Amino acid sequence: MEDVSDPPFRALCKEQGADVVYTEFISSEGLIRDAAKSLIKLDIYEKERPVGIQIFGANLDSMLRSVEIVEKTKPDIIDINFGCPVKKVVSKGAGAGILKDIDLMVSLTEAMVKHTDVPITVKTRLGWDHDSIKIVEVAERLQDVGCKAISIHGRTRAQMYKGDADWNPIAKVKNNPRMHIPVFGNGDVNTPERAVEMRDKYGLDGAMIGRASIGNPWFFREVKHFFETGEHLAPPSMQERIDIARRHLQMAIDWKGEKLGVFETRRHYTNYFKGIPDFKPYRTKMVTCDNPADVFAAFDEVEQLFGDYQFESVV
């Protein structure tokens, strides 16, 4: 997730039970131009492993050259993003834009598989629109050229993030007798029950969790606990939330400096402290202060005033 799954956030998700984490998606064109914004996304903490670096693009030469750059950071996986629906990506034929040209999608994947010893995986969507859903055939073709795993978002590009994700076509991919690589589902995995449903009802090999983890790295441990016991974990305490918020901000500052560190952690605070009565003034402080000391002071104030707040358990 762009501007979300940076090293500090990935480290927190890993601590909380994520099995594999992925970088923000990285432009192949940016990498070969030595664009600083792209290169910084290659940073990996050793404690994150296994970690995948996700790249996007539609030009064969650029994608192959970017693989050579990515290899130097020794990722465990290189993931190709054929699923981003954002206009600025799609307009260049990349991300979900490549769903209009399946032959190119397959040939790019094949070329990248042959160009590196790092396992190549693919993240994609059901199709460009409802009339072009051929994901069973597409997944089979990707497997046949060497793709090691596929993650499928249960919407078309035309849907963007509207409506409900449809996991039935993903199940058809998994149930195709010719498929032998892992098939992961994505889209609307926002409760432990939904993750179990993806596994048990639809038979998928796992779930790729994105938006549900923003400001909620505990989601991974909650899902795992529910898998094992069928019961919900107690929600993280206020003290744990404050401690995570502090650590997240400090790691972000250490990684990107004070200005970006403060700015890029703001998106997480709403969920870190969601559902607390009369909390708005304190949340506002967290997301408007530009000085790290002021944000840390806001955490201290919250700890003093709300430290005993009890979050309701999910039954």
Distance CA 129, CA 278 (A): 43
84 catalytic residue (yes or no)? yes
User: Catalytic residue among 13, 84, 147, 289, which?
Assistant: 84
Q: Is position 153 annotated in a ligand binding site?
A: yes
Q: Is 130 helix (H, G, I), strand (E, B) or coil?
A: helix
Distance CA 270, CA 284 (A): 9
Distance CA 295, CA 245 (A): 10
Distance CA 227, CA 222 (A): 9
Distance CA 180, CA 242 (A): 44
Q: Whose CA is closest to 84, among 106, 109, 58, 60?
A: 58
Q: Would you call the peptide bond into 177 cis, given omega within 30 degrees of 0 as the criterion?
A: no
By CB neighbour count within 10 A (0-12 exposed, 13-18 middle, 19+ buried), where does 39 fall? middle
Q: Is position 211 annotated in a ligand binding site?
A: yes
What does the block give as tokens for 278?
A: 């009369």
DSSP class of residue 52? E
DSSP class of residue 232? P
Which residue type does 191 have?
T
Which residues face 21 on adjacent strands? 51
Catalytic residues: 84
Could you list the residues known to form a binding site, using ranges.
54, 123, 153, 210-211
Per the annotation, where are the binding residues for FMN? 54, 123, 153, 210-211
